Amino acid sequence: MKVAAIQMVSTAELAQNLSAAAKLMQQASDDGAKLLLLPEYWPLMGMHDTDKLILAEHAGTGVIQDFLSAMALKLNAWIIGGTLPLISNDPGKVFNTTLVYNPQGVSIARYDKIHLFGFSKGNESYEECRTILAGEKVHSFDTDFGRVGLSICYDLRFPELYRAMGTCSLIVVPAAFTFTTGQAHWEILLRARAIENQCYVLAAAQGGLHTNGRRTWGHSMLIDPWGKIVDVLDDGAGVVSGILDMNFMQQVREGLPALKHQKLR
């Protein structure tokens, strides 16, 4: 099974981002990938935090969701749609949501980001809770190659979330890590989640300088169950891909049965 992470440098224009995503997804599909992961905030990196409220869609309908469904059907691939804003019951906030589409173009799973990013250092400051409503439930979905666990960006710092998913073959992490925090912690955290859960981790990031002035870290990557980086893209738009080797994953688990040795639940 070949999987791919799409790295983008999204703008404040939805049409531009849809076009860029479509080209990169087609590139990944042409290279044989059957599961494609988009980054966090791929449809919009707005000029203001509140821009996402204008773009927000009702669950099950909208331009962004129609695009994801159509691409899954066209490419005959699983599409994990990074994140998009979905309308919540709070008029001033949206859910930052991952939707999963099967190769028939049907939405089969939803995860609303649980952990909301807050960071302040010098002139750099972020507070997602101002415009985003936190999710409450851990989500995963089953495929013919095993369970896939869903997480988003800042979730990466909370290992208990990943334990709550159960035993996964693949964990996905769509993200828009800042340059500051990404440079310090991104790779370390991703490799730790792969090692401790003895599964593949696929991370799709925003990677570059955006039109709103924000700079994201990039370094989308695929990591194997031993913690080795299979493929990585430092900066700019592009595709990261690799094969999920279930036999190798089983060898890791049998040789070092840490999942069976776990005591605290």
* Catalytic center residues: 40, 113, 153
90-85-80-231 Cα dihedral, nearest 10 degrees: -120
**Most distant CA pair in the chain, distance:** 51
- Cα gap 171→59, rounded to integer Å: 23
Task: Give the position of tokens 């070949």.
Answer: 2
Which H or E element spans position 73?
A: helix 63-75
Q: How far apart are the first and last CA of the chain?
A: 31
Measured distance CA(84)–CA(44) in Å, rounded:
8
Beta strands 107-112 and 94-101 are: antiparallel
CA dihedral over 92, 206, 157, 163, signed as positive or negative: positive
Rounded to whole angstroms, how far apart are CA atoms 118 and 130? 10
Q: Distance between CA atoms of 207 and 198, rounded to whole angstroms?
A: 27
* Spacing of C-alpha 9 from chain mean position: 14
